[in-house]
Structure 1
Amino acid sequence: MKTVLITGSSRGIGAAIARKLNPNYKIVINYNKSKEVALKLLNDLRKTNPNVIAIKADVGDEEEVNSMFDLTEKNFGSVDILINNAGLSSFDLVQDMEYAKWKRIMATNLDSVFLTSKRAIPKMISKKNGIIVNMSSVWGEYGASMEACYSASKGAINSFTKSLAKELAPSGIRVNAIAPGIVDTDMMRNDFSVNELEDLKCEVGLNRFARADEIASLISFLISDEASYITGEIININGSFY
C-alpha cells in the first residue's frame, strides 16, 4: 500500500482528496491551525483504514516540513505520493498589501511546494518511482485583479511543475499540477458574499462551481497507473470558466 502525504488536508479540497483515496492508501493528513477538523477527518477515515495519521506542520517552514516527513517515515516509510494542496488566498490592491502578508502567502503557496518536494525527492529517486501533484489555479495562467500575490504564486507553481517534471522524468518520477477554476469550499464562501458568488456562477460555462470531490477524482486518476504517461502537465478543470 502506497503512502500519500496531502498538505493542507484538514478541510476543503484536501479533505475531499483524503476521503477519495481512503482506504486504498496510507494517508498522511497535514494541518497547521485546524486541529479539531483534522482530528475529526482522521477519526472518520480510520473507520475503514487504520493507516491514517494527522500531523501538524506549517509547510512554509523548513524545520516543520522536515519533522513532518520524519514522522511520516517513522510510521509508514517513505512518501510515495506527494500532493501539495496547502494554500492561502487574499484580496488586496498591490499598493495596499503589506509585504509581511505577501511573504506569508508565498511561503504557504509556493515555498511549501519547494520544501516538500525537496524532502520527498531523494527517496523517490532511490526507488525510481514517485508522484508529485501540485495544486495550481486558473489564476496561475490568467491572473486575477486584486489577487496578484495568489496569482503569482500559482503561476510560479506551473513553471516549477514543468521544470521539475523534466528534472525527474529520468528517475521515473511524474510531476503534474491541476488548475481548478472556482470550487465550492469554505474558503470561497468566506471570501465572497452570496450575491458575489451568484454573479461568479453566471461566468462559468456549466453554470455551477466545481465540487471538491470532482477535484479529488482528477487527483485520484493522476496518481493512478492509468496516468502513467502523464507528466509535466498543468491540467485545467474549470467547467469552461476559461
Structure 2
Amino acid sequence: MEFEGKVALITGSTSGIGAATASLFASRGAHVIVTGRDSLRGREVVAKIRSSNGRADFLLATLSDATSARDLAAQAAEVSGRIDILINNAAIATFGATADMSEPMFDDMYAINVKVPYFMVGALVPAMVQRGSGVVVNISTMVAGFGTAGSSIYASSKAALNALTKCWAAEYGPHGVRVNAVAPGPTYTEGTQEQYGVRALENLAYRAPARRVADAVEIARAVAYLASDEASFLHGVILNADGGRSAV
C-alpha cells in the first residue's frame, strides 16, 4: 500500500493505460481522480475501483488548452484537498505522411500532448513545492526516441514532453518534487487496437527483444514504480517500457 494517504490525478484515465494506472494506484491505497471526456466510461472505472474498496472520483474534462488544464487542476484540488501525484497521460495521435498532415492536426496534437501537461504542471506543482513533496509522471512513447516514418507530429510532440520532463526535474527536484516519464512501446488498449489493429501492433512489437505487445497493466506498473518511494533517487528519467525496442 505504498500510496496510502496519497491523492493521484490521472488525465485521460477512462480507458487504456490511464484506466489501468488508476486501478493499480487505487489498489495500492491512493485516492484516485479519474478524468476524461467520456463520463460513462469514467464512471465505470470509478465503480470498478470502488467495488474493490478503493477510493476514486471522476471529473469530466475535455483537455485542449491552458484554460481547460487549469480548470481541471482547480476542480481536482477542490474535490480532494490536494494532489500528491500527477500523471500526465491524456494524449492523441494521428499518423501519416508529413505532406498530408493539416495545420489543425498539428495544433491539436501539440495542444493536448504538450500544452496541457505544461499547464497542468504549472497549476499543480507549486503546491507540491510548498509541501516539499510530490511526483509527476509523464506518459511519452518509444517513438519519441527514434525516427519512424509517418509519426512526425506525434513523435515530436512526445519528444517535447521528454524535454519538459528533464526541465521540470531540474526546476522542481531541489524542492522535493520528482518528475519522470514512461515511454511505452506497443500496448493493447481499446484505442490502439481500434486505430492500428492487433496484427499491426504485433508486427511492430516483433522488432523488440520481448517479441510481444504489452498489456496496459505492465505499463501501469512502470508508472507506479516511478511514482513510488522505491524510485526516490530518480529525477528526469525517461523509463523505456518498450520490450527492449530502444536497445536494438
Q: TM-score, normalised by structure 1?
A: 0.95
* Change in 2 beyond 3 A, CA 1:193/1:48: closer
Larger displacement relative to structure 2 (205-214 or 58-67): 58-67
Q: CA deviation at 1:226?
A: 1.2
Residue pair 2:201, 2:213 contacting (<8 A) in 1 also: no
User: Do 2:26 and 2:55's aligned partners in 1 also have CA atoms closer than 8 Å?
Assistant: no
Q: CA contact under 8 A between 2:208 and 2:245: conserved in structure 1? A: yes
Match of 2:42 in 1: 38
Q: Does the residue aligned with 2:34 lie in a helix, a strand or coil?
A: strand
In 2 relative to 1, CA 163–39 (structure 1 residues): closer, same or farther, beyond 3 Å? same
Q: Which residue of 2 aligns with 1:27?
A: 32
Structure 2: tracts of 5 or more residues without a match: none
**Distance in 2 of aligned mates of 1:211 and 1:195:** 15
SS class of match (1:231)? coil
Shift of residue 225, structure 1, vs aligned partner: 1.1
Instruction: Note if contact 1:90-1:150 (Cα within 8 Å) is conserved in structure 2.
Output: yes
2: distance between equivalents of 1:195 and 1:63?
39
The amino acid across from 2:42 in the alignment is A
Instruction: Give, in angstroms, the shift of residue 132 of structure 1.
Output: 0.4
**C-alpha RMSD over aligned residues:** 1.4
- Match for 1:153: what amino acid? S
User: Equivalents in 2 of 1:114, 1:76: separation in Å?
Assistant: 21
Equivalenced residue count is 241
Match of 1:210 in 2: 214
The alpha-carbon distance between structure 1 residues 157 and 100, as it changes in their structure 2 partners (threshold 3 A), is: same
2:167 aligned with 1:167: no
Structure 2 residue aligned with 1:157:
161
Deviation at 1:156, TM superposition (A): 0.4
- The structure-2 alpha-carbon separation of the partners of 1:75 and 1:208, relative to structure 1 and needing over 3 Å to count, comes to same
d(CA) in 2 for partners of 1:114, 1:45: 28
Contact kept? 1:138, 1:181, Cα under 8 Å: yes
Q: Tell me the SS of whatever aligns to 1:124.
A: helix
Identity of aligned residues (%): 31
Cα distance in structure 2, aligned partners of 1:201 and 1:161: 26
**Tell me, what secondary structure is at the counterpart of 2:136?**
strand
1:105 maps to which residue?
109
Residues 1:135 and 2:139 aligned together: yes
1:57 CA drift (Å): 1.4
Residue 124 of structure 2: SS of its match in structure 1?
A: helix
Asked whether 1:114 is paired with 2:136, we answer no
Q: Distance in 2 between the 1:12 and 1:86 partners?
A: 10
Per the TM alignment, residue 110 of structure 1 is displaced from its structure 2 partner at its CA by 0.9
Task: Provide the rounded CA distance (Å) in 2 between the counterparts of 1:202 and 1:140.
Answer: 19
- C-alpha separation between the residues in 2 aligned to 1:91 and 1:143? 13
How far off is 1:38 after superposition?
1.0
Q: For residue 98 of structure 1, report the CA deviation from its aligned partner.
A: 0.8
SS of residue in 1 equivalent to 2:51:
coil
| CA distance in structure 1 between the aligned counterparts of 2:157 and 2:55, rounded to whole angstroms | 33
Task: Give, in whole Å, the separation in 2 of the partners of 1:238 and 1:179.
Answer: 7
The secondary structure found in structure 2 opposite 1:79 is coil
Task: Report deviation, 1:10.
Answer: 0.3
Name the SS for the 2:186 alignment partner.
coil
What one-letter code is carried by the residue in structure 2 that aligns with 1:129? S
- The aligned amino acid for 1:98 is S
Measured after TM superposition, the shift of residue 130 of structure 1 is 0.7
User: Residue 59 of structure 1 contacts residue 116 of structure 1 at CA under 8 Å; is this kept in 2?
Assistant: no
What secondary structure is seen at the aligned counterpart in 2 of 1:235?
Answer: strand
Q: Displacement of 1:194 after TM fit?
A: 4.3
Partners of 1:116 and 1:82 lie apart in 2 by 8
2:236 maps to what in 1?
A: 232
